Amino acid sequence: MKVKVVTKILEANDRIAVENRRLFDHAGVFVINLMSGPGAGKTSLLEQTLTQTISQKTDLKIGVVEGDIAGTDDAERIERFGAPVVQINTGGACHLDANMIYEVLGDLPLVSLDILFIENVGNLVCPAEFKVGENMKVMLLSVTEGHDKPLKYPLMFQESSALVINKVDLAPYTNVDMTKIKKDALSLNPKLKIFEVSCRTGEGIADWIAWLTEISKKA
């Protein structure tokens, strides 16, 4: 007996993502799914963002969900800034999924936040495929990873609304071709917004915060 199924394999995940998004919209918080390979500087970007929003006395209220396979190091780094943070340990899974986010929503003061960053597990492949209910995906690439990454990992560049190129202070010490990174990334995704920053020196972070402030008003 043949039975038609006609279902997306990730349908269950997508359904929970829609519910998460409804809760985020209701609370008026703009949600960014932050993705990159391990060590590109996701947590450092959040630390710099918090440092500068606090020193500039902007009234941008930021909360963070930290996704890691194991450990609480990242959440502890964020907690120092007094920002609401929840750590998720995936216990081996290579990405966050919508249900993991749904389970921790009650632990965050969503209504009082302007932006919630969901820092995904460090991985340039899988996180791009699982919606978690975000308004947009933002990815990081550090110059030390090399300029071949857009064409090697096209999906993440295509799914992201913005690309933050980190560690630009190290570019002179590497053979990285910045023009090629930007050209290939824009070929894959002509609408991609690109920022060049150094989370070590703070370079470029002001532009990034100005953009965050602008997009968060849309929530």
Partner 1 sequence: MHEVSIALNLLEIITTQCRKEGYSRIDAVRIKIGRASGIMPDALAFAFGAIKGDSIAETALLEIEEVPLTGSCRDCSAVFTTEAEYILECPSCNSASFSITAGRELDIIDMEVS
Site residues for partner 1, window 133-162 (CB under 8 A)? 151, 154-155, 158
Q: What six digits make up the tokens of 46?
A: 């959040």
Choose which of 34, 40, 128, 140 interacts with partner 1 (CB under 8 A): 128
Choose which of 106, 172, 190, 214 interacts with partner 1 (CB under 8 A): 190
Site residues for partner 1, window 32-91 (CB under 8 A)? none
CA distance 188 to 210: 25
Query: Does residue number 111 form part of the binding site for partner 1 (CB under 8 A)?
Result: no
Choose which of 88, 188, 197, 212 interacts with partner 1 (CB under 8 A): 188
- Residues in contact with partner 1, counted by CB under 8 A, come to a total of 31
Q: How far is the CB of 183 from partner 1 (least distance, A)?
A: 10
CA distance 39 to 57: 29
Choose which of 94, 136, 209, 215 interacts with partner 1 (CB under 8 A): 94
Contact 119, 36 (CB under 8 A): no
Instruction: Label the pairing between strands 62-68 and 85-89.
Output: parallel
Q: How far is the CB of 39 from partner 1 (least distance, A)?
A: 17
Q: What Cα–Cα distance (Å) separates residue 77 from each residue in 54, 72, 95, 109?
A: 15, 9, 21, 19
